[in-house]
Structure 1
């Protein structure tokens, strides 16, 4: 086999391997659905619910084969942006029940589980194939546990 034939064969082999990797990568991502930007604001008794976790549960069945759920964490200004597969990448289109848990660190849910499961959702939303500004979540007159305080000194049993 001549040197030029070996070079062509090597290039062809590399091309086939590259195509195989590309196909493999696209298969890996094939289960993901398209996502669209989605954001909103959370206020509890007039205060920004910094650190609260928003999670969307699909009403129409799973959004993908892995049963992914869009989620977001509330910022200091009360805003959040949803992500499903990556941080703040948006949510797949569909109907969702929105849950809210407000625990800081390992502490208890400051809302005492009042909106932690789809059956107790704070609202129902539709994510469409556009930029989605979700209605504000405004809970008022609700009983809220105080935020955890820093302990001084060593922990005691």
Structure 2
């Protein structure tokens, strides 16, 4: 009887360990603050979306930033955590006519291709400041 209980206990322990390793939240990674500004035609591009494309791993998450009324932006990574993981990024911009849905891009897709980024940034410990991005 003791052997049976021991085997059952071992099986339950293994099951608990396996269940605890299933899909769920991705592991936490360190993020670092990044800030910049975006202007189109000399004016703040309020509502434009900047996507940070990691250069090392195309399958990695792509942090985003929405440009504020004054032209400033700060990207966020997962669950609205301000900052992004260390690495090299190329930046693209879209600026929809309406914030919800797939309305036309005011920039006509001209700055949405990662192969022709509007900027490049290296993120690491400390705050990364991107020089103002000025588009026509």
Q: Please report the TM-score for the alignment, with normalisation by the length of structure 1.
A: 0.66
Q: 1:127 aligns with which of 108, 123, 128?
A: 123
Gaps of 5+ in 2: 1-15
Of Structure 1 and Structure 2, the greater helix share is in 1
User: Which protein shows a greater Rg?
Assistant: 1
2:63 is aligned with 1:53: no
- Find 1:74's aligned residue among 57, 67, 73: 67
* 1:88/1:54 CA distance change after superposition, 3 Å: farther
**In 2, Cα distance between equivalents of 1:51 and 1:30:** 29
Find the aligned partners of 1:101 and 1:119 in 2 and give their Cα distance.
15
**In the alignment, what sits opposite 1:36?**
32
For 1:75 and 1:30, locate their aligned partners in 2 and report how far apart those are by CA, in whole Å. Answer: 29
How many pairs align? Answer: 117
1:100 to 90, 93, 96: 93
Kept in 2, the 8 Å contact 1:98–1:122? The answer is yes
How many angstroms does 1:30 deviate by? 5.2
Q: Over the residues paired in the alignment, what is the CA RMSD in angstroms?
A: 2.4
Q: Which residue of 1 aligns with 2:105?
A: 109
C-alpha distance after superposition, 1:104-123 (max 9, x if no partner)? 32421111101112012101
- For residues 130 and 55 of structure 1, what CA distance do their matches in structure 2 show? 20
Unaligned runs of 5+ in 1: 1-19, 143-157
More strand by share: 2
Of 79, 84, 101 in structure 2, the residue corresponding to residue 91 of structure 1 is: 84
| Residue 78 to residue 44, structure 1, CA distance change in 2 (3 Å) | same
